[in-house]
Amino acid sequence: MAAVGFKASYDPRVSSLGNLDHFQSDSSYYMDMLHRVHVVSNEVGQIETQEELNVLPISGNTIMGVSGFRLLNYAAIRVLKDPDAIKYIIALDRSLMAEAFWQDMNNIIIQSQTKEEAQEKIIQTIRQRCDRYFKGCLSPSEYAETEIFRLEGEIKDNLSWLSTDAGFHAIQNIFLKNNFRFLHLDLFDQQAIFDLKDLLNQSGVTLDTFYLSNVYEYLPKTKIKFFATSIAALIDENTITIDTKPRSSNQKVLIQRILNGKKKFMQGSVNPKFKHYYSKPISGIDLLAFAANRA
């Protein structure tokens, strides 16, 4: 399998994350609707999460996580809290669509002179590449407009890394230093998690914040008991983990929560009794209903 991750060609300097460019995972390459790019998040409680991130002490040098720009939103908060402490951003996903997205965004972020220019190019690229980012959606172009609308709302509401010049430059500086990586990784692949942790240790990477989102809802029931153990092995003792509360039949909204430290994560990690939304294949009418519920 080809090496995953990518190095920015604009900066010949050797990054401390260089050995991650050769990280290999046996993860499958997902390109279905469930694995489309989530440019912004539809989770509730983001304001509270950001306020808490502004208060909690820095404990590591790296922001890691899944998804799209929500990862950068949290990274910007932590970098601005202590610019000398946070050095790296690592995005993880098992989706080829997410990999394509981050490759495109990487170039836009490093080449833009202002946040306004970056925003304009990002929106243009989302429209142009909608068939790639949102493959499997009933109408990729319509879904792209929904994501753009949400992105512009986040920027206007001061929730985005693009909301302020300081936030934009905080993120851009990390990309300019070649200290961003995308890794194609299935978080349910326990051996890959252990291998990655070894590489992170070799690179001097310590996790300050890990954005997990609702990844566990994609978890096959056969892997429930291994998931929390794998993530606990990946994070550090004081890592802040951001995920969502387990949903029930009476509460379908995704609500964020912060688990401060490995101990809190283990105490609040996946409950085997909660409903697993994606434990079986989704197709046909179920897929359309899923799309409507997520919109």
Strand bridging mode 62-65 / 88-93: parallel
Q: Does residue 200 lie within any of the structural domains? A: yes
Q: Does residue 2 lie within any of the structural domains? A: no
Q: How far apart are the C-alpha atoms of 285 and 201, rounded to whole Å?
A: 45
- Residues 187-232: pLDDT tens digits? 888 888 899 999 999 889 999 999 999 888 777 667 666 778 888 8
- Which is higher by pLDDT, 145 or 188? 145
- Residues 101-140: pLDDT tens digits? 999 999 999 999 999 999 999 999 999 999 999 987 889 9
Q: Does residue 20 lie within any of the structural domains? A: no
In the chain, the number of structural domains is 1
Q: Given this model, what pLDDT does residue 167 score? A: 98
pTM of the model: 0.83
Q: Does residue 189 lie within any of the structural domains? A: yes
Residue reference for tokens 């409950």: 271
CA distances from 93 to 71, 82, 98, 186, 190 (A): 12, 27, 7, 6, 14
Q: Does residue 90 lie within any of the structural domains? A: yes
Q: How far apart are the C-alpha atoms of 35 and 12, rounded to whole Å?
A: 32
Domain that holds residue 165: 34-294
CB 280 within 8 A of CB 219: no
Collapse the DSSP code of 185 into the 3-class scheme (helix H, G, I; strand E, B; otherwise coil) and give the result: coil
Q: Does residue 138 lie within any of the structural domains? A: yes
Q: Does residue 118 lie within any of the structural domains? A: yes
Q: How far apart are the first and last CA of the chain?
A: 35
Q: Does residue 28 lie within any of the structural domains? A: no
pLDDT band at 30 (very low <50, low <70, confident <90, very high): low
Q: What is the DSSP string of 109-175?
A: HHH-SSHHHHHHHHHHHHHHTHHHHTTTSS-HHHHHHHHHHHHHHHHHTT-STTSSHHHHHHHHHHH
